[in-house]
Structure 1
Amino acid sequence: MIQLITPGLYSEFAGELKEMHGLRYRVFKERLDWEVQTGGEMETDTFDDLKPVYLLLKGSDWRIRGCVRLLPTTGPTMLRDTFPALLGEAVAPASPDIWESSRFALDLPPSTPKAAGGLAQATYELFAGMIEFGLANNLTRIVTVTDTRMERILRLATWPLSRIGKPQPVGKTEAVAGFLEISHASLLRIRWRGRLNGPVLWRPILGLPHGPCG
């Protein structure tokens, strides 16, 4: 199940958000050893202060097993403000129908079921949640900064990244920026590859403002 948490629900789901920041610490600091801002075994950054939307993947034990953060490109974004070198000659998107995803992370037990391409079914579930959120809010694309490892996973999942510029070394990884299509066709492919039955996003909120979330 994917839990959608908008700014108005932060206080109601404070425990889940704290657990999410702990998951991000384990993934980005401990496992990947990225240069990220941490404190108290939690990972946060300035973009968490901009009232983003979070999608949280909950396991059968109700623990947080995955997450992704979403922000409108009409405000500050990681691509424009932190990694502009990944744009090449392009201009950073700033459109109400394009949002940015970041901090995609999964921390799954070894027993997690697999689906097509050898990917965890949970990976497809979180991808599907992103697309369902986009369709519910009239988005056409999601822009993201990721590493080439994640780019390969997206390709295996048949939700390929359309590169904006060439990959560049960032810290200890090779990063790339690109667009992900938001469409019913892409959602159907993800559901089929991931063996998902029906929608995955719980408590979707339609008509989210196409600007900074407040």
Structure 2
Amino acid sequence: MLAHALRNGSGTKERELVEAYHRLRALVFADRLGWDVHVREGQEADEFDALDPTYIVLTSDDGAVIGGARLLPASGPTMLERTFPQLAGAGNVNAHAGMIESSRFCIDTASAEGRGGVLHQATLAMFAAIIEWSMLNGYSEISTATDLRFERILNRAGWPMKRLGKPSRIGNTMAIAGTLPADGASFTKVCPSGYKSAFAAARRIAA
């Protein structure tokens, strides 16, 4: 597996990977989860994709996109601010220049967990990639909205989320918002064996 950091204005190969990530989002959020999202020509996108985000995209050894997430500065506009403000409690996100928001996290598997209760390697690789990219770009904290099931996965990975508010039902999901540290200790805890990234292959992660 290889992690990539991509932008919409990248070259042809990079655009193909971003489009594959949008198709994966349609598969996961529209088809599997049944969310009310906008899908056009097999790709899911929303207003935040027009804000020049960075996409962390994970590819398999044969080059297929198997995971991804969208990163935007938490100073806004963000999904927590505009779409899920009820999850942030009493407005206590406390966004700052060192915070990035992660959204639209998805993995190409029927479950984000492997057999026998072992976390899926692709999930761990995505965690590691988000932390690594954040550190390399001057971010020390990650904000996100997720569900209670995924919060448990974060805890099992050794990367617990600090809740911003109480769980709230959104559609059929009990959702929660929180922040996560982006530091060397967290990277070491979640990083699976054989992890590789294309955006910092030659740079050492500071502990």
The answer, yes or no, to whether TM exceeds 0.5 is yes
Seen in structure 2, the aligned counterparts of structure 1 residues 58 and 115 have a Cα distance that, compared at 3 Å, is farther
Provide the residue aligned with 2:106 in structure 1: 105
**Aligned pairs, how many?**
200
Whether the aligned pair in 1 keeps the contact of 2:25 and 2:44 (CA below 8 Å) is: yes
How many angstroms does 1:137 deviate by? 1.4
Residues 23-172 of structure 1: pairs in structure 2 closer than 5 A: 23-108=24-109, 117-172=117-172
How many angstroms does 1:109 deviate by? 8.0
How many angstroms does 1:178 deviate by? 0.1
> What do the CA deviations read for 1:37-74 (whole angstroms, capped 9, x no partner)?
11222111000010100011101121100000000012
Q: Residue 199 of structure 2 is aligned with which of 194, 199, 203?
A: 203
SS of 2:166 mapped into structure 1: coil
SS of 1:126 mapped into structure 2: helix
Name the TM-score, length of structure 2 as normaliser: 0.89
Match of 1:181, as an amino acid?
P
Seen in structure 2, the aligned counterparts of structure 1 residues 95 and 59 have a Cα distance that, compared at 3 Å, is same
How many angstroms does 1:183 deviate by? 0.9
Match of 1:203, as an amino acid?
F
Provide the residue aligned with 2:204 in structure 1: none
Name the TM-score, length of structure 1 as normaliser: 0.86
Give the gaps of 5 or more residues in structure 1. 206-214
Displaced runs of 4 or more, over 6 A: none
Provide the residue aligned with 2:205 in structure 1: none
Question: Which protein, 1 or 2, shows the higher relative CO under an 8 Å CA cutoff with sep ≥ 6?
Answer: 1
How many angstroms does 1:103 deviate by? 0.3
SS of 2:139 mapped into structure 1: coil
How many angstroms does 1:10 deviate by? 5.9
SS of 1:158 mapped into structure 2: coil
> What do the CA deviations read for 1:122-170 (whole angstroms, capped 9, x no partner)?
1111100001011101211100001111111111111111100000001
Match of 1:135, as an amino acid?
M
Distance 2:34 2:113 in 1: 26
SS of 1:9 mapped into structure 2: coil
Identity %: 38
Distance 1:10 1:158 in 2: 36
Distance 1:45 1:142 in 2: 20
